[in-house]
Amino acid sequence: MTRMTAVLAALLLTACTMNMQAVREPSRSYAVATAPPWQSMVYAARTDSGVVVVDLGWYGAGNDLRRALRRLGARPEDVTDVFITHTHRDHIGGWRAVRQARFHLSAAEAPYFQGAAHHGDLPSRTGEAVLGNPAPWMGEVHVRPFASDTAFVFGRDTLRAYLLPGHTPGHAAYLFRRVLFMGDAFSWHLVGGISPADEIFTENSQANRGNVRALLDRVLPLGVDWACNAHAKCVKPDSAFVRRITKGGE
Ligand SMILES: [Zn+2]
C-alpha cells in the first residue's frame, strides 16, 4: 500500500466513526463498527443480570460482535437481550450469533423482523430483491415487542426504550448509561456533517423530525452525555445538534 493510499484509507476510516470510543467503559461496555465504509454500530454492555446488545450491524457483524464481547469477557451465548432500533438490513446482520437472546423491538417494527412485512423504501426493496430476507423467519428467535415507551431493568441498570417512528414505521430509540441510541433518526456526512435522517432511506421524514424533537424535549432533561446514530456517529446533544437534526420538523 502506498503512503497516499494508506492516508486515504485512514481518512476514510477516521471519517466513518465519530466519538464511538466515548461510549466504551473498560470491562463494562464496548462499541464496534462493522465493515467500512458503511459502518453500522454494535454496542454491547455487561450488566448485573446479563449481557445487553444494541443493534446488530451488517457485513461481518458476527465477528465484530464477538470482538466486542471479548472486551467484556463474554461470548455470544452470554447475550441475554438484544435491542434493535429498526430492521433495515444494515442493523440486524448479527442475529444468528445471538439467536438464543430475547430480541426487543417495537411492536410496529416486529413484523419487518419476522418476514411478515417489507420496508417500502427503494434501497430496502432493492436489497431484498437482490440479497433476500436479512432477518429471521417467524419463530426462529424470541421476539419481545413493546407497544409503548418501556423501561427494562437489568440489576443496577435501566434501559429506557422510546418509540420514534419516522425513519421506519416502528423505529425506536434507547437510553442506557446516559447514551441515547437513535438508530437512523439522524445522519452524518463527510460534507455537511450532522443532518436529519437521509430521505432516500426514510419512510416519513417529516414524522421523523417531529418525533425526534418531541423525544429530545423529553429525554435530554434526564441526562444524556452522547447521542449516537446507528452508524457510529456520537455527538454531544447540545442545542445546535437538536436544531440541525430537526431542521424542517414541526
Ligand atoms: Zn435505517
Share of the chain above pLDDT 70, in %: 92
**Strand extents, DSSP E, 140-239:** 142-146, 150-154, 157-163, 172-176, 179-181, 186-189, 193-196, 226-228, 234-235
Question: For residue 124, how far is its CA from the centre of ligand 1 (angstroms)?
Answer: 9
Question: For residue 152, how far is its CA from the centre of ligand 1 (angstroms)?
Answer: 24
Question: For residue 4, how far is its CA from the centre of ligand 1 (angstroms)?
Answer: 33
In the prediction, which pLDDT does 9 show? Answer: 44
In the prediction, which pLDDT does 248 show? Answer: 61
In the prediction, which pLDDT does 236 show? Answer: 96
CATH code reported for the domain at 18-245: 3.60.15.10
Predicted confidence (pLDDT) per residue in 95-130, tens digit = 999 999 999 999 999 999 998 999 988 889 999 899
In the prediction, which pLDDT does 46 show? Answer: 98
210-216: average pLDDT: 97
Question: For residue 5, how far is its CA from the centre of ligand 1 (angstroms)?
Answer: 30
Question: For residue 87, how far is its CA from the centre of ligand 1 (angstroms)?
Answer: 7
In the prediction, which pLDDT does 15 show? Answer: 52
Predicted confidence (pLDDT) per residue in 31-81, tens digit = 999 977 678 999 999 999 999 999 999 988 999 999 999 999 999 999 999
In the prediction, which pLDDT does 68 show? Answer: 95
203-209: average pLDDT: 95
Of 248, 246, 235, 231, the residue nearest 86 (C-alpha)? 231
Question: For residue 156, how far is its CA from the centre of ligand 1 (angstroms)?
Answer: 31
Question: For residue 229, how far is its CA from the centre of ligand 1 (angstroms)?
Answer: 10
| Sequence ranges of the domains in the chain | 18-245
In the prediction, which pLDDT does 142 show? Answer: 97
In the prediction, which pLDDT does 216 show? Answer: 97
Question: For residue 1, how far is its CA from the centre of ligand 1 (angstroms)?
Answer: 33
Question: For residue 195, how far is its CA from the centre of ligand 1 (angstroms)?
Answer: 14
Helix ranges restricted to H, 83-193: 110-113, 122-131
In the prediction, which pLDDT does 7 show? Answer: 45
For 112, the grid coordinates are 419487518
Predicted confidence (pLDDT) per residue in 153-184, tens digit = 999 999 999 999 999 999 999 999 999 999 99
98 vs 72: CA distance, rounded Å = 15
**β-strand partners of 206:** none
141 vs 139: CA distance, rounded Å = 6
Question: For residue 48, how far is its CA from the centre of ligand 1 (angstroms)?
Answer: 31
